[in-house]
Amino acid sequence: MTGTTSDTPAFPEPPRRPARTRVVIAAALVLPLGLAGWFGWRAVSGGSGPDARTPAPTASTASRDSLITDANSDPLGTSPAPSGTAAPSPSAGTGGAAPAASNQLAGRTVLLDPGHNSGNAQHTKEIGRQVDIGNARKECDATGTSTNAGYSEAEYTLDVVRRARAILQSRGARVVLTQDGDRPWGPCIDERARIGNDARADAAVSVHGDGAPAGATGFHVIMPARVTAGLADTSKIVEPSQRLGLLLRDRFKEATGEPFADYIGKQGLDTRSDLGGLNLSKVPKVFIECGNMRNADDARRMTDAEWRQRAALGIADALTAFLTT
């Protein structure tokens, strides 16, 4: 401004307040801010004192959908997980969120039995021999069925079992398989039962696909009948197997949307006394026929990788519920 220098203020400076007045004003400003910060901290911490904290998320709160994310690339590969190492998560290598690990099944052993074997057709003599199932003699194993397009039951069951294994291992379970694509054929039905018995499994599920007439559709769970004959004695496992069967029926339907079978059983359940894998089991065990591979609608679902991931989740959820309730 004209007539001023840099040392001279443009406007007269107001008179200064006494020092005591300035202290009082500062205190009046600081106190409300401090109270506001304290109330804000209580709101965040839950208001239960200086040690309160917002609970950290646990594995049980992880999104169930994270186990289904990006399942299209066969996340488990074609070879078994090395002994003593964790299997890849169901979304590993696909960019999907990996499921949170938990220990809810720590100390529990699960037997998963993928029905049949892709090599059985080349070993008809071996699988055709008769084995003792307690109340009868039956063939060691069978080739299994397939979709009209050639997707085999053995391929389907091994894929679903591997996916279920990954989920169960992520929950802390020890998972034993009757075969993991590492045998040229079999095993026989009596050995399948024995593997679960020797492992002292807490529960066992045998996974299958059915080969019913093309007009039939849906899934069903097979539970053991009471059989006490020769090598077979299911008297101790009938009741817990029925409980497992009900849980598997409900969880599988919830996960996949597959209807109950309209050609066998009742409301998705059947009871049989002619299956060696059930007759010879000493641990709670059921079979699941996940759908009719000869039916066009069922086949379309069963050949879809995302649907198979949902099937695996339904199986894993049923086993988890059985072992934790």
Side-chain-facing half-sphere of 147: CA atoms under 13 Å: 18
More confident residue, 152 or 55: 152
CB-CB contact of 275 with 190 (8 Å): no
Backbone angles phi, psi at 59, to 5 degrees: -60, -30
The structure tokens listed for 205 are 């599920």
Domains defined along the chain, listed by start: 73-324 (3.40.630.40)
SS3 249: helix
So what's the pLDDT on residue 56? 35
Write b or e for each residue in 37-61: b if 16 or more Cβ atoms lie within 10 A of its Cβ, otherwise e: eeeeeeeeeeeeeeeeeeeeeeeee
| Active site positions, annotated | 289
So what's the pLDDT on residue 100? 57
Residue in this structure with the two tokens 């904290």, named with its chain if needed: 53
How many CB atoms lie under 10 A from the CB of residue 184? 12
CB-CB contact of 299 with 151 (8 Å): yes
Poorest-pLDDT segment among 41-55, 143-157, 179-193? 41-55
CB-CB contact of 110 with 168 (8 Å): yes
Residue in this structure with the two tokens 């079978």, named with its chain if needed: 261
Full-model pTM: 0.74
In this predicted model, what pLDDT tens digit does every residue of 186-215 receive, in sequence order? 999 999 999 999 999 999 999 999 999 999
Beta bridge partners of 111: 176, 204
Looking at residue 316, the DSSP 8-state letter turns out to be H
In this predicted model, what pLDDT tens digit does every residue of 161-181 receive, in sequence order? 999 999 999 999 999 999 999
DSSP secondary structure letters along 250-319: HHHHHHH-PPBPSSSSBTTEEEES--HHHHT-SS-EEEEEEEETTSHHHHHHHT-HHHHHHHHHHHHHHH
